[in-house]
Structure 1
Amino acid sequence: MMSTSPRNARHGAGKAVCHTISDFLVIVLIITPAVNLFWRGTWNIMYEYLVPEDIIISSWLSLAIGSPVLLLAGLLQHSIRRLGSWIHGKSKGWHHLYLAVYVYVVASASVAQWRGFWNLPTYYLPEWVSIPGYGVTAVIGTGLMVGLRIFANGGGCPAGIIVDFEPDPFRVPLRFHTDRAERFSWRFALDVFFSVFVFDLISFAYWAGYWGLLDVLMFPEDLCFSYWVSLGIGYAIHLVTIFLQFPVHKASRNLRGAKREFWKRLALEDAFLFVVNFGVVNSWRGLWDLYDCYFLPDQPKLSAWLSVGIGALLCYSVCAGRTLGGIGVTVDGEEEDGTGVLLSTYAEGHEMLPWLKHLRKREEDDSGNLEALRTFDTEGSRKANDRTSASDLAGNQGTAAYLIKSSANTEYLI
């Protein structure tokens, strides 16, 4: 096998760069603002209509509405998946409608649960609204997420998006993988509770801590300017991590095998994900509060309804409705091929990540040339090389399948 010529390699790399940049623009200019609009609108609708005269009761009602819906989505996932398969066999159009309704209900319930999480500490623990309070919350949230190996779930768009092409969109991956048995048990029920409620509460602590610190430390005297700076920081971090993910992925993939290597890989992935997630928090803070500054600030009810409608319509129209909200847990360090650090792309529902595919092609060509030079080796060496090549091929095929994934906070069907 001959390696690709320098001219073809440059052409392939240039095409991949253009593809990645266009993908970046779709995510940061359409999908992320739309998802943020939907969450802000749903949040503010609850504020305007759900016992607006008593914010404490309103927050408890939000929690009482959102949490049971999410728990039922986890507990009944096998029945929901079977019904989805049956509808898909009858009519793809009805299946799309079924998915759209499911996504809307789950996303709205996620907003309701987070609204309860976010508001209640403010009123029951007023000392929490301070630099020490936010700092302690951020440290506790970060420590628990790292210790429980759920740090990958602390992000969201623009780093993690979910397109509507996954063959099993109703699956709710759980922390301890009891969902794979496809049968109800008390262990499964506890896994759902921890994955949907407890781990979401930990994610809230992470977000609320860093969001609060940004509120009190980043230009508090000029809030709208602070939000613009936060948005710029978030998008800049996302752009940098798009290019940084490839060397990190390669380093992570090389750290596989021994248990000691696992902990090194986990530390590397968590360090990278910390940067990614910090960018996501900045992006969301900037967008959310800029909408408050500029999007019909004198007409809050109209602003809320338009936010929900425009946000949902934009996401559904670009087949990214599942990015509006979802449940499930991704476990840090489980992917030995390093794909745990790869960011989502809008086009990944159709093909492998362009840059990674180009780099893999070059690696395969180089491996082919090296194998040709070894043809005069002994029979034993050839068998060893065959085993190594087969192992690498299996890893590449597994990686390609894994990349057709939906996140910044779910597992994916392989």
Structure 2
Amino acid sequence: MSQSKISALLKLLSVFDVLFSALIVAPCVIIFWRGIWDLMAVYIYPEDLILSTIVSTIFGICGRMLSALCQTQLEDSFHPKMGKISWYLASRVYTIVMGVVVINSWRGPWELLTLLTGEDNLMVHAVSFFGGLMLLMMAKSVRNTNSTPCEIVTDSDVDNYFKIVTRFKTYVSGRVSFFILDCIFSVVIVGTLVVFIWRGLWIMVDIFLFPDDPEASAHGSLILGYSIIAVLFIMQPIVRNVCNKLSGAARLLFADLFIIVCLVGTINVWRGIWMCLDIYFLPDNKVLSCWITLTVSLVLLILLGCSNSLLVRGVYIDAEEPDGKCVVLPCYYLRIIFQAEKLKKINKKMQMYEKPEKLDNIENNHIVTISGIVDEDDCGGIDNRANSDILKGLDVP
């Protein structure tokens, strides 16, 4: 297959990836979050909101800290070598448990802030949003506010399934005290700031977007959110080219502004879907509504191999990738499958050179930067770490 055909195919796959993320993965993730979030209010001290939020906060933050601190032990204990079925069950149980943990780590601080400040004080929400953004910009961590539909996290990277990247990328094999402090900063400081930013913007939309008409507000959020996301994906090549020409502080600021616009679209999509479920799906039986929706969404995400999209974990640095890729929205699904199949064929043809490319080099955008993931501008879709001289001599369909 020629380079032009490969490029055209990758562009088509990228369109399908965006639609898949926006119309399937994103609704499933939001539905699951809404189900767990509302069920926590039912099952965790429903008569005492203060105690309920405190329990959620402690459970969520301690659970995320424990998963970060024990990631090496989890990687050593659970691996496909233990048997495919055992590995599959263990990894998906981990994802479900961590999903509950992560959602509680958001629900706790969110509801505590509501108890302390209420929901009608616009100034408080503006400070929560803009103040949190300023602090994250200083920490070069704004990109951690991003979520589906602007990204997909697949379950395919088995070697890094339990890996959680911390802000300063320290390792337990080094100074243990530094690693613990890094985990605390990543989970408590960065994680809580992200919650404050989301809550601040979410409630500001509540205040300004048809506050007296929930249905119009929900529909307005959906239209606004998906419109912003669509424009961002269409403009992505232009934005990437502009970012590629910038350097230093200008490049960092440009990347942060792009992520902030993504955040506005993302929060409106989340808010719109969440409110539509509250309004239209079994509004008189909230518990049944939550159980049905979260079960269906979870099963679908597991079957599609995208259940890791449920989790919020790891801290990533702004504008870290080269060549403008820091503004590429990592929605990779069909392209990862395409890359895997292509690498298998390349491995067979490269055996004569005794330099086979390992399939485990396929990168999961949740674990590593996206600089090596396939797109239409990178070596016709081949992982750019492959030997380009050898690839030029191969006609790989």
Q: Do both share a fold (TM > 0.5)?
A: yes
Provide the residue aligned with 1:366 in structure 2: none
Q: Which residue does the alignment assign to 1:314?
A: 300
Give, in angstroms, the shift of residue 55 of structure 1.
1.0
| Cα deviation digits, residues 346-386 of structure 1 (max 9, x gap) | 22433469xxxxxxxxxxxxxxxxxxxxxxxxxxxxxxxxx
| Residue number in structure 1 paired with 2:12 | 18
1:303 partnered with 2:289: yes
2:123 aligned with 1:132: yes
The question of whether the paired residues in 2 share the 8 Å contact of 1:402 and 1:412 is answered with: no
Q: 384, 387, 404: which is aligned to 2:363?
A: 404
Unaligned runs of 5+ in 1: 256-260, 354-396
Which TM-score applies when normalising by structure 1?
0.79
Query: What pairs up with 1:277-356 in 2 under 5 angstroms?
Result: 277-345=263-331, 346-351=333-338
TM-score under structure 2 length normalisation: 0.83
Q: Choose which of 85, 106, 118 in structure 2 pairs with 1:114.
A: 106
What displacement does 1:254 show? 3.4
Instruction: Classify 1:112/1:196 alpha carbon distance in 2 versus 1 (closer, same or farther; 3 Å).
Output: same
Given that residues 60 and 101 in structure 2 are in contact (C-alpha distance below 8 angstroms), is that contact kept between their aligned partners in structure 1?
yes
Which residue number in structure 2 is paired with residue 83 of structure 1?
A: 77
Offset, 1:221: 1.7
Shift in alpha-carbon separation, 1:182–1:339, aligned structure 2, 3 A: farther
2:212 maps to amino acid: E
Task: Give 1:190 shift.
Answer: 0.7
Distance 1:109 1:99 in 2: 15
Q: Secondary structure at the match of 1:297?
A: coil
Are 2:209 and 1:250 aligned? no
Q: Deviations over 1:323-355 (max 9, x none)?
A: 0113110111222232221112222433469xx
Query: Alpha carbons of 1:229 and 1:402: their partners in 2 closer, same or farther (altered >3 Å)?
Result: farther
**Residue 117 of structure 1 aligns to which amino acid in structure 2?**
P
* 4+ residue runs over 6 A deviation: none
SS in 1 for 2:224: helix
Shift of 1:154: 0.4
What is the CA–CA distance in structure 2 between the aligned matches of 1:89 and 1:326, rounded to whole Å? Answer: 27
What is the aligned partner in structure 2 of residue 48 from structure 1? 42
Q: How does 1:147-296 map to 2 (within 5 A)?
A: 147-166=138-157, 167-179=159-171, 182-183=173-174, 185-255=176-246, 261-296=247-282
The residue type paired with residue 337 of structure 2 is: H
- Per the TM alignment, residue 13 of structure 1 is displaced from its structure 2 partner at its CA by 5.9
Contact (CA 8 Å) 1:351, 1:404: kept in 2 or not?
A: no
Is contact 2:321-2:369 (8 Å) kept?
no
Residues 103 and 321 in structure 1, CA contact (< 8 A), matched pair in contact too: yes
Asked if structure 2 preserves the Cα contact closer than 8 Å seen for 1:165 and 1:349, the reply is: no
- Matched residue SS, 1:178: coil
Instruction: Name the CA shift for 1:238/1:71 in 2 (closer, same or farther; >3 Å).
Output: same
Distance in 2 (alpha carbons) for counterparts of 1:284 and 1:157: 9
